């Protein structure tokens, strides 16, 4: 009985800490709600403009010729993203695959891909590859690669970017989200500035953005500020927790067509592809996405406020503007990091009994621990957390289809840290 009483008392203490954090974060919550509201209206207007009807939800079979639901979904996405064209397909198996199709679509042997936001996300390293690696990577096919490291403060090295652009530079790559770096994600306004400055140097350069985790966190998307090509995953933000697989590519008509040729075959592109039973959740997921993204972002703000109160470094801080879902918390010690991620898993509705451990996950350069108790495997609009096991031991939390679940996850993770004797919260309760 005493043990049960102590557990209940600890949980009440954590809830009290959360109450303080929520009161502090209320102005940020209101801003997030307004962004979600405007983005919801934008999505509805796109549905109305293209007269979405229930017969658009019926999936095609075989070649998928004349699939009107697929065609209208592409048009809706292009409107929502403020782009000339879009291709939305369940045939993209992941965000990395979608990005790969986009890059292979527009790059040719002898061209250069120049990433101006430092080293891209870990899973892209093997897509870029090395010359002669024999694995069909970009560099194996004769595409040149270079990157401009970010400054120490996470800002762009403008002088380095200007000096790195060459006559053979075909694509400027931008990773909007922080990935596994301790830096701020790039805002749409910052991306617009990159577009303007690189095109002033080389007007024909194609600007590409990895938009994963960024959709609907702001009022505009990168394609609305001059980006030529953009890719994202449907099991992240735009799938709204309902799309069971897939990705999207949006941008100029020529760039999207080139990516579509890479997905299927030259001359075929986006004209085929059976959608089977995927259309309804893709449409409905997009409809719900602005609201669910708002819920997840509010959960990230709460996490930042709570962990800052406990003396941990966070990025972004709770009051900072948000341009993606991800909340980074620097733990500094491996056992703290692992306990946090295990606590997020413990709060899941699915597989809460599973205890994640670090492992050599394909595509990553370090052991990775992942909390992923999700209805959609890898669905990171749902509450999840992951981290490479390397110094300074930073956890990356994202998602939460409801704010209540995100809050429960954060409190459960805190509970686990306290229970294991890794942190003490009593001094912080007032």
Give the pLDDT confidence of 216-234 residue by residue, as tens digits. Answer: 999 999 999 999 999 999 9
Where do the domains of the chain lie, and which CATH numbers do they carry? 2-41+286-428 (3.90.1150.60), 60-276 (3.40.640.10)
The whole-angstrom separation of Cα 36 and Cα 20 is: 24
Residue 29, pLDDT > 90, answer yes
Give the pLDDT confidence of 131-153 residue by residue, as tens digits.
999 999 999 999 999 999 999 99
Q: Which two tokens stand for residue 159?
A: 């002088």
Q: Quick one: which of 136, 64, 67 has its CA closest to 100? A: 136
3-state secondary structure of 172: strand
C-alpha angle with apex 243: 36 to 101, nearest 5 degrees?
A: 100
The whole-angstrom separation of Cα 51 and Cα 186 is: 34
Residue 5, pLDDT > 80, answer no
Q: Which helix (H) or strand (E) holds 88?
A: strand 85-89
Distance between alpha carbon 275 and the CA centroid of its chain, in Å? 24
The whole-angstrom separation of Cα 307 and Cα 342 is: 16
The whole-angstrom separation of Cα 17 and Cα 25 is: 12
Q: With cut-offs at 50, 70 and 90, classify the pLDDT of residue 248.
A: very high
Give the pLDDT confidence of 184-205 residue by residue, as tens digits.
999 999 999 999 999 999 999 9
Give the pLDDT confidence of 250-275 residue by residue, as tens digits.
999 999 999 999 999 999 999 999 99
The whole-angstrom separation of Cα 353 and Cα 264 is: 40
Q: Do the beta carbons of residue 241 and residue 375 sit within 8 Å?
A: yes
């Amino acid at each position: 009985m005493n043990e049960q009483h102590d557990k209940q008392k600890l949980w009440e203490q954590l809830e009290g800490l959360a109450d303080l954090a929520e009161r502090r974060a209320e102005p940020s919550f209101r801003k997030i709600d307004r962004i979600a509201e405007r983005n919801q209206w934008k999505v509805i207007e796109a549905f109305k403009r293209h007269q979405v009807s229930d017969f658009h939800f019926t999936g095609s079979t075989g070649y998928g010729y004349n699939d009107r639901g697929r065609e209208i979904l592409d048009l809706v996405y292009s409107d929502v993203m403020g782009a000339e064209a879009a291709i939305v397909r369940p045939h993209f198996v992941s965000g990395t695959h979608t990005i790969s199709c986009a890059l292979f679509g527009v790059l040719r042997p002898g061209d250069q891909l120049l990433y101006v936001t430092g080293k891209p996300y870990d899973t892209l390293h093997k897509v870029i590859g090395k010359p002669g690696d024999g694995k069909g990577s970009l560099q194996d096919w004769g595409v040149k690669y270079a990157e401009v490291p970010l400054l120490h403060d996470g800002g762009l090295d403008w002088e380095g970017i200007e000096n790195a652009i060459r006559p053979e530079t075909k694509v400027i790559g931008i990773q909007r989200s922080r990935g596994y770096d301790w830096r701020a994600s790039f805002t749409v306004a910052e991306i617009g500035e990159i577009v303007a400055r690189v095109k002033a140097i080389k007007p024909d350069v194609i600007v590409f953005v990895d938009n994963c985790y960024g959709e609907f966190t702001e009022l505009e998307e990168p394609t609305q500020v001059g980006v030529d090509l953009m890719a994202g995953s449907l099991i992240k933000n735009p799938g709204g927790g309902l799309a069971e697989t897939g990705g999207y590519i949006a941008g100029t008509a020529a760039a999207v067509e080139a990516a579509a040729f890479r997905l299927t075959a030259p001359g075929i592109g986006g004209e085929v592809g059976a959608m089977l039973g995927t259309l309804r959740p893709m449409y409905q997921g997009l409809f719900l996405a602005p609201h669910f993204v708002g819920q997840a972002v509010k959960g990230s703000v709460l996490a930042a406020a709570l962990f800052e109160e406990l003396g941990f470094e966070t990025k972004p801080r709770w009051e900072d503007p948000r341009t993606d879902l991800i909340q980074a918390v620097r733990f500094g010690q491996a056992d703290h990091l692992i306990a946090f991620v295990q606590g997020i898993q413990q709060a899941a509705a699915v597989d809460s009994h599973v205890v994640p451990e670090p492992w050599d996950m394909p595509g990553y350069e370090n052991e990775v621990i992942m909390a992923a108790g999700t209805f959609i495997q890898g669905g990171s609009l749902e509450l999840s957390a992951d981290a490479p096991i390397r110094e300074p031991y930073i956890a990356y939390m994202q998602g939460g289809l409801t704010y209540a679940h995100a809050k429960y996850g954060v409190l459960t993770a805190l509970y686990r840290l306290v229970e294991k004797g890794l942190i003490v919260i009593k001094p912080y309760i007032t």
